[in-house]
Amino acid sequence: MPCLTNIGTLVTCPPEGGQGDLGAVRGAAMVWEGDTITWLGPRADLPREADQREGASGNGPSYDCGGRLVIPGLVDCHTHLAFGGWRADEFAARSAGTGYPEIAARGGGIASTVRATRAMSRQELADRAGGFLQGMVRLGITAVECKSGYGLSVEHELRTLRAYRDLSGSGAPRLVPTCLAGHMVPAEYAGDRQGYIRLVTEEILPAVAREGLASFCDAFLEPGPGLDAAETTAVLEAGHRHGMVAKLHADQLTDGGGARLAASLGAISADHLERVSDEGIEAMAEAGTIAVVLPIAGVYLNCPPPPVRRMVEAGVQVAVATDFNPGSAPSYHLPLALTLACVKMGMSPAEAVRGATTVAARACGLEEVSGSLAPGRPADFAVIDAPDVDSWLYHFKEGTCAATVIGGVTVAGQLPGSQ
Ligand SMILES: [Zn+2]
């Protein structure tokens, strides 16, 4: 049984607990067998059969963490992982003061990513997304929610979701696919919005369900670039009829009542929430809807931060994710998102880490396998070159993740100090 000893801080993130409850053990050890954790706790309590010091009998390698931090593998519960092209030209234009409506009127914005994504084959989509996943694993990420939504036709939505299925397997993070056919109305339906909503509800979602390609159904509630409330409701209710749990891009650019709508539709999460109202927060607390905040997108779009403190006080669980996409969040650096959640949103480092582990796992249906470390759970963890969570998120620097392990297999870096 492999054994990790001399862990400076072992963050376990127990499923039960408040937003800041890390379940931290100082001076810890952890043992796993195959893909499953068998023991963890203070180093001094390590069972003799797992202890390899001084010739004690054991049957697996022992790794000396040198006082480093060990955390549950990070969960990025909101990404748009597979897409064509980038939009650096828009970044430059926005930096020079050009607004999104003008960019969209020139054929830019989400529509340009739709064109570039449709031009890619399933293999090309999988290869490119697979490259991003390798980068994510090197940051300590072991599970990723990934949305479609740049296809917006039966053929192209299925192509993206099939590419995600192709990527699932050993060595890759655990993937949770979401159908985001309700991202926007594509150009060819500009004069027939209802026609597109019918396509989503009567053709795309049933086809996705037939192949079992998505666990969740998502929509972008934002009159203008996205869908209105009636269109959003039609899409998410159709997803529900086909066995997909609702998620919702809500209250990002305007307070469109998205949080309340997400709560009333039984959505597992409402994401963004920069403009959420107090009534929206109350409705989420009552329904148990998880808030997913996306600080990288907030920085790129220069949005006011969502009222995380009011959410936590109201009893809403808050997850932190990247929103990785080629427009508003061209970075999959989840640890950066955690640092920004502290700086811009008033989260403590402990609250942010729980938001990218336990709460994030719950927001994408992975609470049984990801987000917490305990005997009997999968050995999905990361060794971080810092003594504790505060030090980790305080220093934003390269190469902080020393090793990432998924199901007992080291998939990035290497476990330190093999004895
Ligand atoms: Zn998004």
Q: Letter for the amino acid at 380?
A: D
Distance from C-alpha of 235 to C-alpha of 259, rounded to nearest angstrom: 16
Task: Give the distance (Å) from ligand 1 centre to CA of residue 78.
Answer: 6
pLDDT over 70 percentage in the chain: 97
Start and end residues for every CATH 3.20.20.140 domain found in the chain: 74-363
Task: Give the distance (Å) from ligand 1 centre to CA of residue 169.
Answer: 24
pTM comes to 0.97
Kindly tell me if the per-residue pLDDT of 312 is higher than 50: yes
CATH among 3.90.1150.10, 1.10.3720.10, 1.25.40.10, 2.30.40.10 for 3-73+372-413: 2.30.40.10
Task: Give the distance (Å) from ligand 1 centre to CA of residue 36.
Answer: 32
pLDDT of residue 29: 97
For helices 154-167 and 122-137, the axis angle rounded to 10 degrees is 40
pLDDT over 90 percentage in the chain: 89
Start and end residues for every CATH 2.30.40.10 domain found in the chain: 3-73+372-413
Task: Give the distance (Å) from ligand 1 centre to CA of residue 298.
Answer: 11
Give pLDDT tens digits for 83-94.
Answer: 999 999 999 999
pLDDT, mean over the chain? 95
pLDDT of residue 49: 77
Kindly tell me if the per-residue pLDDT of 382 is higher than 50: yes
In this prediction, residue 419 has a pLDDT band, given cuts at 50, 70 and 90, of low
pLDDT of residue 56: 46
Q: End-to-end distance of the chain based on CA atoms, in angstroms?
A: 14
Give the mean pLDDT of 106-133.
96
Which residues are paired to 280 by β-bridges? Answer: none
CB 157 within 8 A of CB 208: yes
Kindly tell me if the per-residue pLDDT of 258 is higher than 70: yes
Q: Quick one: how far is CA 205 from the chain centroid?
A: 22
pLDDT of residue 57: 44
Give pLDDT tens digits for 207-248.
Answer: 999 999 999 999 999 988 899 999 999 999 999 999 999 999
Report residues near ion ligand 1: CB below 5 Å: 323
Measured CA to CA in angstroms, residue 195 lies from 173, 198, 230 at distances of: 37, 5, 14
C-alpha radius of gyration, the chain, whole number: 21
Give the mean pLDDT of 166-177.
89
Kindly tell me if the per-residue pLDDT of 250 is higher than 90: yes
Least confident segment among 249-263, 313-327, 356-370: 249-263
Backbone angles phi, psi at 232, to 5 degrees: -60, -45
Give the mean pLDDT of 251-264.
94
Task: Give the distance (Å) from ligand 1 centre to CA of residue 321.
Answer: 10
Task: Give the distance (Å) from ligand 1 centre to CA of residue 82.
Answer: 12
Least confident segment among 13-22, 254-263, 349-358, 410-419: 410-419
Q: Letter for the amino acid at 226?
A: G
Residues, the chain, total? 419
Kindly tell me if the per-residue pLDDT of 171 is higher than 80: no
Backbone angles phi, psi at 132, to 5 degrees: -65, -40
Backbone angles phi, psi at 44, to 5 degrees: -65, -20
pLDDT of residue 60: 79
Task: Give the distance (Å) from ligand 1 centre to CA of residue 44.
Answer: 45
Give the mean pLDDT of 264-279.
97
Domain 74-363 superfamily per CATH: Metal-dependent hydrolases (3.20.20.140)
Give pLDDT tens digits for 24-82.
Answer: 999 999 999 999 999 999 999 998 877 655 444 456 789 999 999 999 999 999 999 99
Hey, what are 306's tokens? 């969502």
pLDDT of residue 55: 45
